[in-house]
Amino acid sequence: MENLTVSPKFQVVIPSEIRELLDIYAGQKVVVLQKHGIIHIIPVEDVKTMRGRYKAAGLTSEGMRDETDRF
């Protein structure tokens, strides 16, 4: 876990390790949302290109949400 600094323009830099792991590139669109006081940054891509990417990286959705926790 790394600490980020918010600039005077309210900008942050995503650490290179995370950018590389998730293939986030300059100019890419992301969705930013807040849930229970936590900020989530989600890359926006075509569903077909994202299929299997997070499983291969060892990430799972376990514990992210349950049946009562819907947007």
pLDDT of residue 10: 95
Condensed to tens digits (0 to 9), the pLDDT of residues 9-63 reads 999 999 999 889 888 889 988 889 898 899 988 888 777 766 666 676 677 767 6
pLDDT reading at 5 higher than 80: yes
- Residue 10 DSSP one-character state: S
Give dist(CA 17, CA 49) in Å, integer: 20
Q: What are the residue ranges spanned by the domains of the chain?
A: 16-56
pTM for the predicted model, two decimal places: 0.56
Token pair for 2: 């790394």
Confidence band (pLDDT; 50, 70, 90) for 66? low
List all residues 6 or more positions away from 66 whose beta carbon is below 8 Å from its beta carbon. none
Write down the pLDDT at residue 71: 57
Q: What gap in Å lies between CA 27 and CA 17, rounded to an integer?
A: 18
